[in-house]
Chains A and B, each alone.
Chain A
Amino acid sequence: MKYISVKSIMGNLAITLFLAYKSILKGNRWVPILLVLVMAFSFVNLIFTASIITGVMRTMDKQLVDAVYSNIVLNPEDDDYYIDHVSQVQKQIEQAPGVAGASTHLDSSAFFEYQWKEKQTQTDKGKSGTWKVIGINPEQEANVTTIHNQMIEGSYLTEDDRDEIVLGVEIAGGDITQTEAFLTLGGVKAGDKVRLTYPDNIQREYTVKGIFRARELQADLVAFVTQKEMASVLGRNIFYDRASQILIRSEPNIDENILIAEFRDMGIKGEIRSWSEYGGAMRSTISTFEIIGSLINGVGLIVATIVMFIVIYINVINRKRQIGIMRAIGIAQGTIIGSYLVQALFYAGSGIALGWIVVRFLLLPYFINNPLDLPIGLVSLTVQPLTMGSSTAGLILAAILAGVIPAWAIMKQSIIKVIWGT
């Protein structure tokens, strides 16, 4: 009995496949071509939109790591303003496995002035503003951030520079800034002089050695001097072996949380956090992007599903008479519905495969070689397995519904009505 039922099921499956095969092969040849193309473009559209948004988010994350926080940030403990015996702490960190580099920062803020000699009166604000200044060791810093590679004018600092400063483009101002001109120094060039007034009214004049553009607003609103210079401003003796924070770059593919746990085990004191915890405002921007991305994806999937449903639905409705004839000669309903389901799955599968080929061998290589130059940086396509999976599953589900629903609806009508339309 069991054998008979298995045989019967296999027989029905064979008829289902036979009918589907003949319908695809011998039907109007434009129907499968158009259906597969519609499916392929729907799939590409879903993947492309999601991948661009993911690419934007990845770029924003990368900018935070490369230009602002590196991978891990070590700040003083709550009650302290500075990390003491910093050279010893830095050495300890650098010896930990998985660490690619560490750089100490000595931070301050200062009132910046440009072309201050041209001021007409004492109250004239001129070209000025207050920004953050970070004292760095340029060699160490190059191990943890990529700002040294993002100079758009002049050059980066060297260890012995004393009266030179490097400005973020949003401080310097000019044509390519995101902030309004009146919020910048109004177009400082490399080689120009700027005057900084530090706390306690300590004034220093610097030559602008270079201007960098990290394409990350937080980074581009910072200026760098050497740590020696900053220590001399703040008080050489006191700040000789102190730092405001240490940035730590991890080796590629090292989990930052494991490294943080390792530092704690080593007895390193302070507030140790990964870059993602410091993301703050940027995190909310990225979260917004994630939500928008999900919405666009959801809408895209619904649109693709509806388009595919309509195309397959029309195809099935156009074969209404054929379905009626098959019913009239006694072919089981399950076999007929199954044949339309197989056809729909064939169109969906072929479309998804074609779409995947377009994404994998056309779009991805193109955008890797020609990333989009957006204000936030260079953005490439980032195809995530989840996006692929959800798009594939969504389209296949749509194909199943589009194949089954109209065929099933036709089964509910009288055979005579289906054949003759009366």
Chain B
Amino acid sequence: MIIARNLHKIYGRGLAATSALKGIDLAINSGEFVAIMGRSGSGKSTLLHLLGLLDMPTCGEIYIEDTDVLKLSERERARFRLGRLGYVFQEYSLLGELSIWENVYLPALCSTHPSDYKKRAAAMLGIVGLGKRLTHYPGEVSGGEQQRVAIARALINEPRTLLADEPTASLDVTSAKVVLELFQKLNKDLGQTIVMVTHEPEDEKYVDRVIWLEDGLIIPGSNNN
């Protein structure tokens, strides 16, 4: 379960200060597939960055699976991200010097139990439909395929929570559909909690619930379970 209380995020200082989040309270149940939607600048990516421990809020609390994650040290946050969160970025975020297989097994290699990591990575790439392209490098596959590799990488350590920041934004319609169906399948089959930021209204049909953000606040009534 993910719980956020009174989350604020202010960028800059003094006159240049911009308030991206103005007091977010939300709760996402385990196994839910939730979309965070809103206009550009509504704070949805900022919220996901905070939930993914990629950035720190100005104030507020975040609990993920009963852990007060903001009280963790930098080292503990890294370990938490590695083992318990999967994160899919908006743009391609693979390491260009590693093959897609290596990109996927790197987090497994870094985990505390790196057994069979190569086999698991190959299996994961099989799930996202890239089982035959293990030795290819990111530059040698399409954007949609790169995003699927990123999803496989996010899932390799079997995290309970998958966070995805506009994962279909840079994909064509067909690739986007493949990715969203894959999320749906993972959510149904593995019971994974998925929080996805999107601005595409048609993505609504894939998710259990939509949280609408506007001007750094949740639109009243949109956070109901």
| Same complex | yes
Cα A15 to Cα B110 with chains together (Å): 7
Q: By the criterion CB–CB under 8 Å, are B93 and A419 in contact? A: yes
Task: Known A15-B110, A415-B54, A419-B89; judge A332-B78 contact (CB<8 A).
Answer: yes
Min distance, Cβ A300 to any Cβ of chain B, angstroms: 34
Task: Known A22-B98, A325-B95, A416-B55; judge A330-B137 contact (CB<8 A).
Answer: no
Q: By the criterion CB–CB under 8 Å, are A15 and B81 in contact? A: no
Q: Please tell me if A158 contacts chain B, counting CB pairs below 8 Å.
A: no
A8, A26, A332, A335: the one within 8 Å of B98 (CB): A26
Could you say which residues of chain A place their CB within 8 Å of the CB of B109?
Answer: 15, 18
Cα A331 to Cα B110 with chains together (Å): 6
B55, B102, B107, B112: the one within 8 Å of A329 (CB): B107
B80, B85, B95, B102: the one within 8 Å of A326 (CB): B95
Min distance, Cβ B140 to any Cβ of chain A, angstroms: 12
Q: By the criterion CB–CB under 8 Å, are B110 and A328 in contact? A: no
Could you say which residues of chain B place their CB within 8 Å of the CB of A370?
Answer: none
Task: Known A15-B110, A18-B109; judge A331-B78 contact (CB<8 A).
Answer: yes
The chain B residue with its CB closest to the CB of A27 is: B97
Could you say which residues of chain A place their CB within 8 Å of the CB of B110?
Answer: 15, 330-332, 335
Min distance, Cβ B150 to any Cβ of chain A, angstroms: 10
Min distance, Cβ B105 to any Cβ of chain A, angstroms: 10
Could you say which residues of chain B place their CB within 8 Å of the CB of A26?
Answer: 96-98, 137
Could you say which residues of chain B place their CB within 8 Å of the CB of A322?
Answer: 95-97
Min distance, Cβ A194 to any Cβ of chain B, angstroms: 80
Min distance, Cβ B16 to any Cβ of chain A, angstroms: 14
B81, B93, B94: the one within 8 Å of A330 (CB): B81
Q: By the criterion CB–CB under 8 Å, are A332 and B81 in contact? A: no
Give residues of chain B (72-102) contacting chain A, Cβ–Cβ below 8 Å.
74-75, 78-83, 85, 87, 89, 93-98, 102
Q: By the criterion CB–CB under 8 Å, are A330 and B80 in contact? A: yes
**Which of B49, B55, B78, B83 is most buried by chain A, counting CB atoms within 10 A of its CB?**
B78
Cα A25 to Cα B96 with chains together (Å): 12
Cα A291 to Cα B49 with chains together (Å): 58
Q: Please tell me if A285 contacts chain B, counting CB pairs below 8 Å.
A: no
B55, B85, B106: the one within 8 Å of A415 (CB): B55
Number of interface residues of B (CB under 8 A): 32
Min distance, Cβ A338 to any Cβ of chain B, angstroms: 12
Cα A310 to Cα B220 with chains together (Å): 53
Q: By the criterion CB–CB under 8 Å, are A330 and B54 in contact? A: no
Q: By the criterion CB–CB under 8 Å, are B81 and A22 in contact? A: no
Cα A329 to Cα B81 with chains together (Å): 6
Could you say which residues of chain A place their CB within 8 Å of the CB of B74?
Answer: 333
Q: By the criterion CB–CB under 8 Å, are B96 and A330 in contact? A: no
Min distance, Cβ A377 to any Cβ of chain B, angstroms: 54
Q: By the criterion CB–CB under 8 Å, are B107 and A330 in contact? A: yes
The chain B residue with its CB closest to the CB of A334 is: B75
Q: Please tell me if B129 contacts chain A, counting CB pairs below 8 Å.
A: no
The chain A residue with its CB closest to the CB of B79 is: A330
Cα A326 to Cα B102 with chains together (Å): 13
Q: By the criterion CB–CB under 8 Å, are B54 and A22 in contact? A: no
Cα A419 to Cα B107 with chains together (Å): 18
Q: Please tell me if B114 contacts chain A, counting CB pairs below 8 Å.
A: yes
Q: Please tell me if B160 contacts chain A, counting CB pairs below 8 Å.
A: no
Q: By the criterion CB–CB under 8 Å, are A328 and B98 in contact? A: no
Q: Please tell me if B153 contacts chain A, counting CB pairs below 8 Å.
A: yes
Min distance, Cβ A200 to any Cβ of chain B, angstroms: 91
Q: By the criterion CB–CB under 8 Å, are A327 and B78 in contact? A: yes
Min distance, Cβ A81 to any Cβ of chain B, angstroms: 82
Min distance, Cβ B92 to any Cβ of chain A, angstroms: 10
Give residues of chain B (13-61) contacting chain A, Cβ–Cβ below 8 Å.
49, 52, 54-56
Min distance, Cβ B178 to any Cβ of chain A, angstroms: 22
Known contacts A329-B87, A329-B154, A330-B81, then 8 further A-B pairs from the complex at CB < 8 Å, ordered by chain A residue:
A322-B96, A325-B89, A325-B93, A328-B52, A328-B54, A332-B79, A333-B78, A419-B89
- Give the A-binding residues of B (Cβ under 8 A): 49, 52, 54-56, 74-75, 78-83, 85, 87, 89, 93-98, 102, 106-107, 109-110, 112, 114, 137, 153-154
Residue contacts A-B, CB under 8 angstroms, 29 given = A8-B112, A15-B106, A15-B109, A15-B110, A22-B97, A23-B97, A26-B97, A27-B97, A322-B97, A325-B89, A325-B93, A325-B95, A327-B78, A328-B54, A329-B154, A330-B78, A330-B82, A330-B85, A330-B107, A330-B110, A331-B82, A331-B107, A332-B75, A332-B78, A332-B110, A333-B74, A414-B55, A415-B55, A416-B55
